[in-house]
Amino acid sequence: MTGAGPCPSGLIIPGVLWTPDGTAGTRPLILLGHGGGQHKKAPGSMARARRFAAECGFAVAAVDAPAHGDRPRTEEHNRLVGEMRNRMHTGGDVAPVLAEVHTLAVGQSVPEWRAVVDAVQELDHVGAGPVGYWGLSLGCGLGVPFVAAEPRVRAAMLGLNGAETSAEAAARITVPVEFLVQWDDERVPRAASLALFDAFASAEKTLHANPGDRGEVPAFELDSSLRFFTRHLS
Amino acid sequence: MTGAGPCPSGLIIPGVLWTPDGTAGTRPLILLGHGGGQHKKAPGSMARARRFAAECGFAVAAVDAPAHGDRPRTEEHNRLVGEMRNRMHTGGDVAPVLAEVHTLAVGQSVPEWRAVVDAVQELDHVGAGPVGYWGLSLGCGLGVPFVAAEPRVRAAMLGLNGAETSAEAAARITVPVEFLVQWDDERVPRAASLALFDAFASAEKTLHANPGDRGEVPAFELDSSLRFFTRHLS
């Protein structure tokens, strides 16, 4: 679905839409937010999208986040990414720079996701069903303010991100949240992750923590997210 | 299965065994440890046992813990329970007394559970299949040293208990663990729960935390434990 919809500034947002084979009619829609430095067709997103569509009958949309994938980089974004890489090499504190990257993208990303939902739900084989949001790391940093602002989102799978820039928006989220923490995440301190989980105002929120760094989320968590969205959107 | 097996001291351990309808042959065996003040046929245990047997085809055994259900109370046990109730009413620190209750029962409970496995696995419709252990609260306090000591146990679902008396044994557990924390548990401090999760030496251990006090574990966690045992024992 290249050009799913012009975003408020008139730009085209490159995106991909997965739908179950040969089916018309209204269905739940899952929005996949990718991680920092990744894009709409990152292998993890592709694998998740296929399972959501094939096993749950959901429509799934992924778009490139601002300054990612097929979208132009800004000077400010490049400067921050350079600074982040520098700190990763020298063992400096990456978290505040990461928070700046997220803040830079959030202002753009929230209205873009809304435009994506508007456009995709007009399609005959998607329709105006309930919406779920899935996003870890950058996808969580951009997802929290979006989920807080968008009443069409009924459930969110979030994680691998801390409270720094997200706590205020998280306190406005009341839909069910499944929240992933990697217990030995080298980028996001454990306390910051737990503080973000604490911040959600949702009556149903469930935290899943597993050992290892952020690249080591176990495969069974994808199974769990399928059941989570099925429980809340079907 | 009243009198599943004489424990090493020659006592009879009152117990219940659930097996799937009309089936012979070897199958996984789940041991259900109950909470403090409860017993082998507590409603929660009954509900779990029925689902494990009916949906997974497992055999399920529950026994009364020392000084619980149909078993005689000791003077020391009664004294500790009285002290715990007293502290609960006056807002005192319950955790150290709870730890004493667990310690008192552990020495007896570990050889008893071994005797139960010995006896039950001799039955034609159970056999010597893989064993899983399920226990929260007291069932976790008694379960951790048992799982650490018993190589027939291949997976354990534990939680609602802290590291006080369990950290050393937890560090000897290497089988997969799913660990439940109630985020607002009024009896076990959050830090003590997370310390116990940290202590397990298991390569696969997964923490599930949900809001609310210890009585408010969400129903979807029972679904999750069915999948956890199916993944590791089937």
The pLDDT of residue A62: 98
Q: Tokens 């985020």 identify what position?
A: B183
Count of alpha carbons within 13 Å of A121, Cβ hemisphere only?
A: 17
Q: Which is higher by pLDDT, A215 or A95?
A: A215
A10: alpha, beta or left? (left if phi > 0; alpha if psi -120 to 50): left
Q: Which residues of A touch B183 (CB under 8 A)?
A: 198, 207
Work out the angle between the directed axes of helices B220-233 and A220-233 (0-180°, nearest 10).
150
Distance CA A125, CA A51 (A): 18
Burial class of residue A25, CB neighbours in 10 A (0-12, 13-18, 19+): exposed
Joined together, the tokens standing for residue B136 give 């929260």
Q: Which residue of B has its CA nearest to A206?
A: B210
Q: Kindly compute the dihedral angle of the four CA atoms of residues B40, B42, B43, B48, in this order, to the nearest 10 degrees.
A: -40
CB atoms B207 and A208 under 8 Å: yes
CB atoms A206 and B220 under 8 Å: yes
In angstroms, the separation between the Cα of residue A115 and the nearest Cα of chain B is: 33
For domain B15-233, give the fold: Rossmann fold (3.40.50)
CB atoms B206 and A209 under 8 Å: yes
Distance CA B62, CA B2 (A): 10
In angstroms, the separation between the Cα of residue B25 and the nearest Cα of chain A is: 29
Lowest mean per-residue pLDDT among A158-162, A184-188, B169-173? A184-188
In angstroms, the separation between the Cα of residue B207 and the nearest Cα of chain A is: 5
CA distances from A24 to A20, A105, A116, A117, B138 (A): 9, 34, 19, 18, 52
Distance CA A38, CA A36 (A): 5
CB atoms A206 and B205 under 8 Å: no
Q: Which residue of B has its CA nearest to A200?
A: B211
Q: What is the mean pLDDT of chain A?
A: 92
Average pLDDT over residues A214-220: 95
Distance CA A135, CA A141 (A): 8
Secondary structure of B48-111 in HEC code, one letter for each residue: HHHHHHHHHCCEEEEECCCCCCCCCCCHHHHHHHHHHHHHHHHCCCCHHHHHHHHHHHHHHHHH
What residues pair up with B209 in beta bridges, in sequence order? A207, B181
In angstroms, the separation between the Cα of residue A221 and the nearest Cα of chain B is: 10
Joined together, the tokens standing for residue A169 give 């928006």
Q: Tokens 């045992």 identify what position?
A: B229
Q: Which residues of A touch B205 (CB under 8 A)?
A: 210-211
Q: Which residues of B touch A223 (CB under 8 A)?
A: 227
Which of B183, B208, B218 is closest, CB to CB, to A208? B208
Residue B206 sits at the chain A interface (C-beta within 8 Å):
yes
Distance CA B84, CA A136 (A): 43
Count CB atoms within 10 A of the CB of residue B7. Answer: 20
Q: Which residue of A has its CA nearest to B219?
A: A204
Q: What is the pTM of this model?
A: 0.91
CB atoms B208 and A206 under 8 Å: yes
The pLDDT of residue A8: 54
In angstroms, the separation between the Cα of residue B140 and the nearest Cα of chain A is: 19
CA distances from B30 to B56, B60, B131 (A): 11, 5, 6
pLDDT in tens, A91-116: 888 888 888 888 889 989 999 999 99
Which of B204, B206, B227 is closest, CB to CB, to A208? B206
In angstroms, the separation between the Cα of residue B47 and the nearest Cα of chain A is: 21
Residue A223 sits at the chain B interface (C-beta within 8 Å):
yes
Q: Which residue of B has its CA nearest to A199?
A: B211
Q: Which residues of B touch A203 (CB under 8 A)?
A: 211
Q: Where are the domains of chain B?
A: 15-233
Radius of gyration of chain A (CA): 17
Q: Which residue of A has its CA nearest to B177?
A: A210
In angstroms, the separation between the Cα of residue A208 and the nearest Cα of chain B is: 5
Tens place of pLDDT per residue across chain B (234 aa): 434 445 555 678 999 999 998 778 999 999 999 998 899 999 999 999 999 999 999 999 999 999 999 999 999 999 999 999 999 899 888 888 888 888 889 989 999 999 999 999 999 999 999 999 999 999 999 999 999 999 999 999 999 999 888 999 999 999 999 999 999 999 899 999 999 999 999 999 999 999 999 999 999 999 999 999 999 999
Burial class of residue A222, CB neighbours in 10 A (0-12, 13-18, 19+): middle
Count CB atoms within 10 A of the CB of residue B104. Answer: 16
What ipTM did this prediction achieve?
0.89
The pLDDT of residue A187: 87
Residue B207 sits at the chain A interface (C-beta within 8 Å):
yes
CB atoms A209 and B211 under 8 Å: no
